[in-house]
Amino acid sequence: MSIAVRVASPADVSLILGFIRDLAEYERLLHEVECSDADLRRDLFGENPRAFCDIAEADGRPVGFALWFYSYSTFRGSAGIYLEDLFVVPGARGIGAGRALLRRLAQRCVDADLGRLEWSVLDWNTPSIAFYDSLGAMKKEGWTVRRLYGESLVQLAES
C-alpha cells in the first residue's frame, strides 16, 4: 500500500471537519466540537492562516490528517510546530499513515531549523502513547495543561 502526504486545500474543508469529528468521537469529546466548514476555511485558507493541515492518503484515498500551527520556545529561542490534531481512520491504522504525517512535520522542522515538534495526548490513550513512544517522543514530566475559554476567557479579558 502506498502512503502519501499532501498539503490540504480548500476543497478538503469538509473532509477535515469529518476527521475532526471522528477524532472527537474517539476521544469521547464529540459534544465539544463547535468547528464549522466556515471556521476551517477562514483559519486554514483565509488571508491570514492561523493553522495548517496535511492529509495522508493510502492509494489515493484520504485516511488521516495532521492539523498544526507554529509555536515559539523562549527557552530554546526558536520557533517550533505544535500538532493540534493527528488522526487516522480506524481501518487504516497500522499501515504507516500516522508515521508519514509525523515524518512530514519532522521534515518541516528540520528543513526550517525549527526547535521542536510538540503535541499533547490524553493520558488514557495507550495505543497512541505506545505509538509516540515508538517514535522516540519524550513525555513532558511535571507539566499540566491549563486552558481559559468561553466565559472564563471573556471574564478575564473584561476584568
Phi, psi of 2 (to 5 degrees): -95, 125
- Does residue 2 register a pLDDT over 90? yes
Q: What is the pLDDT of residues 28-40, one digit of tens each?
A: 999 999 999 999 9
What residue has cell string 513512544? 133
Instruction: Name the residue range of residue 138's domain.
Output: 3-158
Q: How far apart are CA 58 and CA 71, in angstroms?
A: 29
Q: Looking at residue 84, what is its pLDDT? A: 98
End-to-end CA distance of the chain: give it in Å, rounded: 56
Amino acid at 38: A
| Residue of 26, 82, 132, 149 with catalytic role | 132
CA 128 – CA 3 distance, rounded (Å): 19
Predicted local distance difference test score (pLDDT) of residue 45: 98
The whole-number pLDDT of residue 8 equals 98
Contact 12, 107 (CB under 8 A): no
Q: In the predicted model, is pLDDT for residue 94 greater than 90?
A: yes
Cell numbers that stand for 88 in this block: 487516522
Distance CA 14, CA 66 (A): 15
132 catalytic? Reply is: yes
- The CATH code of the domain that includes 105 is 3.40.630.30
What is the reported pTM? 0.94
pLDDT exceeds cutoff 90 at 144: no
Total tally of structural domains belonging to the chain: 1
More confident residue, 11 or 145: 11
